[in-house]
Structure formats: C-alpha cells, structure tokens
C-alpha cells in the first residue's frame, strides 16, 4: 500500500500546541510544545475531550504504583503528557492507517488506552491488555496522552469510531465504561445472582449498567453520597445503600436468605472496600477487584480460603469491550449529562484534579483542550 506523501488536512494545524506535561508527583505544568508529526501508518488527532481518571490522580499524587518503591522501577515517566480517556477528530492520516482502522479525515475516534506490542506471549494469545511492554497512553515516554490540543495514534493502536452527535465529554466516557464492562465480564454474572457494586463513581456506575444488562436477580449499589446513589438507581441498581448511614450487611443478608451476595464488584480503590466485600459475599462467592489503590491493602486471607472458599479475580483495562461500550453510549441509555458533571479547559487542569480528589462534588471530570 502506497503511503500518501501529501496528506490533506481537515483544518490548519499549527506548529505548536498547549499540553499538560508531567514533571513528577505534584508537578504537572501547562506548556507550549511542538505538534506531533505522524509517521507512516499513524494518525494525528485533534483532541475534543479527555477524562481525568482516578489513576491519573494517584499518579499526580505520587502513589507507589506509578513511581516505584523498594527497588521497583517506576511505571510512570516524566516529560509525558497524561490522559488515556479521550476522543477527538482525525486531522491527518495516510492511506494505510485509514484502511487499517476504517476511519477517514474528520471522523470522531478514540483508541483503547493501551498500545499493544502484538509480539509478546500475551498479545499472541489474544490477551493484548496484558501486553508485557504495557504502553498505556499518558504514562510512558513515546506514548503521550490526550491532555493536549493534539495527540498521535501510533500504528499499533486499537482505534474505534464514535458518533459525532454525542457531546465530546460523553464520547470520552467510552474508556471507563469499557473498563467497567470488562469487570462485569470477569464476574460471569448469572440470572439468579445478587450483585453488590461498591462505589458509584464512573467505574461503579458502568459496572451497574453492565451488570443490569446481564439480568441478575438483584443489584445493590453502595456509596456515601445520596446524589451518586440516585444516579446508581438510574443506571440499574435495584437497591442503594448509603454506607455512612446504614450497614450494607443487613440489607444483603435480607436479600439472600442470610447467605450473602453472589458477586461483589469493587470500583472505589478505597482500602475499606476490600474487607467490606469479603464480609458481604456468601461462601464460594466472587470478588472482582478493579480499583487502583494508593497503598497496599491487607486483609484476613483466611476469609478467602478456609472460611468461604472465594473466587477472587482482578480486572484490568477494557479488552474486547469497546464496541459494546460505544453502542451503549450511542443508545443514550445512560444519564450521561449527570455522569459527566464537570468540564474544564487545559489551563484549569488543577481544578479538575482537585475535584476528582475531593470525590464529593463530581462524578466524571473532563478537560476540553479546544
């Protein structure tokens, strides 16, 4: 396939752009930097919206997972533009990339948050989300994220088209929704299951919507904010519990003839949610962990083994769930106006991070580069 030597632009592209750049924990700065130039098989995207993920916040705060401890190499690099939840328009692309991804100039697109190597053991077996190099946008050098006016899609990216009729911040919600759906897939929810979802933030609300699509017997949503619990009910929760006011254990036992929940989906990243889940589950129940924790969490492992013989599963990224997530967004079956609560320009990224860190005044916070 012959690469196009002269690429027609949808719009004029300047030589420089604004971008948020990571210089280390608590040191992110808005800078003027060159607009990236796509190579063969790549594409340049004008970013329309980028969500602030809980992992972005923990990286900013200096969590050990990202910056390393006890001799472990850092997972995040300095000099990188953050942002892995994004949507934008194609402004430069060659024929090879256009045919490979099925997109053209002007299309609204997103890419899965990881750029797989397609060569390691996991990629060869179809588990690309566990790729050994693990190049996720916005954390490692060479894979800048979307907190910028423009970003580059490398040739190995997984690219998806999204309706241009959605609000940009709604379209960018495809990444956290795909992650939530993967956690639901890991749970293998059945019709007679009682499912508990911990946390009614972006991930938890997606878990509730995904679990509802599996038609379980009952979904219980847990949070400490009444407005988030109201959103949970609109996303499909049958019962909501404010755990600051009520003990969820009594509610779950009443629903399950005193046995406990069949499935517990953890989407908060708060240490207290882990023992809570182990307590709420019945014997041989399923615990699914999606949260990203700031620090290590200790639990009584005897509950998992001798007491209950639990299945404890992790979930990472959103492999093979993006088409479903995009269909859900385009169907407008979720209350997206109330989920996507705040949008800021790039220059106010610190306000966005502050809101995400507070957790009580927002659900999904996004930056709008343009």
- Residue-level pLDDT at 3: 42
> What is the 8-class DSSP label of residue 239?
E
- In this predicted structure, the answer to whether residue 70 has a pLDDT above a threshold of 70 is no
- In this predicted structure, the answer to whether residue 124 has a pLDDT above a threshold of 80 is yes
How many Å apart are CA 316 and CA 67, to the nearest integer?
Answer: 19
Which residues have a Cβ under 8 Å from the Cβ of 169 and sit 6 or more positions away? 49, 51, 340, 343, 364, 366, 368
Going by C-alpha positions, the residue among 305, 363, 315 that lies closest to residue 337 is 363
- Cite the residue boundaries of each domain of the chain with CATH code 3.90.180.10: 16-161+335-368
- As a whole number, mean pLDDT of residues 21-38 equals 96
Three-state secondary-structure class, residue 13: coil
Residue of 184 and 9 predicted with greater confidence: 184
Instruction: Let me know if 363 is exposed, middle or buried by CB neighbors in 10 A (0-12, 13-18, 19+).
Output: buried
* Mean pLDDT (the chain, rounded): 94
Which residues have a Cβ under 8 Å from the Cβ of 84 and sit 6 or more positions away? 53, 56, 113, 136, 137, 138, 139, 145, 146, 175
Helix then strand count (H, E) for the chain reads 14, 17
- In this predicted structure, the answer to whether residue 1 has a pLDDT above a threshold of 50 is no
Cα separation values, 84 from 128, 202, 217, 328, Å: 16, 15, 34, 20
pTM equals 0.94
CATH number assigned to the domain covering 16-161+335-368: 3.90.180.10
- Residue-level pLDDT at 359: 85
Task: Give per-residue pLDDT as tens, 128-165.
Answer: 999 999 999 999 999 999 999 999 999 999 999 999 99
Confidence band, pLDDT 50/70/90 cuts, at residue 74: confident
- In this predicted structure, the answer to whether residue 2 has a pLDDT above a threshold of 60 is no
- In this predicted structure, the answer to whether residue 4 has a pLDDT above a threshold of 60 is no
Which range has the worst mean pLDDT, 41-45, 70-74, 267-271, 341-345?
A: 70-74
Which residues have a Cβ under 8 Å from the Cβ of 300 and sit 6 or more positions away? 275, 278
How many Å apart are CA 146 and CA 51, to the nearest integer?
Answer: 9
How many Å apart are CA 81 and CA 148, to the nearest integer?
Answer: 7
- In this predicted structure, the answer to whether residue 85 has a pLDDT above a threshold of 50 is yes
How many Å apart are CA 329 and CA 166, to the nearest integer?
Answer: 8
Percent of the chain with pLDDT over 70: 95
CATH number assigned to the domain covering 180-314: 3.40.50.720
Task: Give per-residue pLDDT as tens, 239-273.
Answer: 999 999 999 999 999 999 999 999 999 999 899 99
- In this predicted structure, the answer to whether residue 116 has a pLDDT above a threshold of 90 is yes
- Cite the residue boundaries of each domain of the chain with CATH code 3.40.50.720: 180-314
């Amino acid at each position: 396939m012959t690469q196009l030597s002269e690429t027609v632009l949808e719009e004029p592209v300047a030589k420089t752009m604004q971008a948020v750049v990571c210089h280390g924990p608590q040191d992110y700065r808005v800078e003027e930097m060159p607009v990236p130039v796509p190579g063969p098989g790549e594409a340049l995207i004008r970013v329309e919206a980028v969500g602030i993920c809980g992992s972005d916040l923990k990286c900013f705060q200096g969590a050990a997972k990202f910056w390393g401890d006890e001799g472990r190499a850092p997972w995040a690099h300095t000099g990188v533009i953050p942002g892995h939840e994004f949507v934008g328009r194609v402004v430069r692309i060659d024929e090879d990339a256009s045919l490979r991804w099925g997109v053209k100039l002007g299309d609204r697109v997103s890419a899965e948050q990881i750029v797989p190597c397609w060569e390691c053991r996991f990629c060869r077996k179809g588990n690309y989300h566990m790729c050994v190099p693990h190049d996720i946008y916005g954390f490692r050098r060479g894979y800048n994220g979307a907190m910028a006016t423009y970003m580059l899609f490398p040739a190995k990216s997984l690219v998806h088209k999204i309706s241009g009729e959605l609000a940009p911040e709604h379209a960018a919600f495809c990444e956290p929704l795909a992650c939530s759906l993967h956690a639901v897939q890991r749970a293998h929810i059945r019709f007679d299951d009682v499912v508990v979802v911990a946390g009614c933030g972006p991930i938890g609300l997606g878990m509730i919507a995904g679990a509802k699509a599996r038609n379980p017997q009952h979904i219980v949503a847990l949070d400490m904010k009444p407005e988030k619990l109201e959103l949970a009910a609109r996303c499909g929760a049958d019962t909501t519990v404010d755990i600051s006011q009520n003990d969820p254990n009594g509610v779950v036992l009443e629903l399950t003839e005193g046995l406990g929940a069949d499935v517990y989906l953890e989407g908060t990243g708060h240490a207290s949610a882990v023992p809570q889940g182990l307590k709420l589950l019945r014997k041989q129940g399923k615990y699914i962990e999606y949260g990203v924790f700031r620090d290590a969490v200790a639990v009584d492992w005897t509950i998992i083994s001798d007491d209950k013989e639990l299945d404890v599963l992790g979930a990472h990224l959103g492999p093979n769930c993006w088409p479903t997530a995009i269909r859900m967004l385009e169907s407008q079956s979720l209350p997206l106006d109330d989920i996507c609560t705040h949008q800021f320009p790039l220059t106010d990224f610190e306000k966005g991070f502050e809101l995400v860190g507070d957790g009580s005044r927002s659900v999904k916070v996004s930056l709008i580069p343009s």
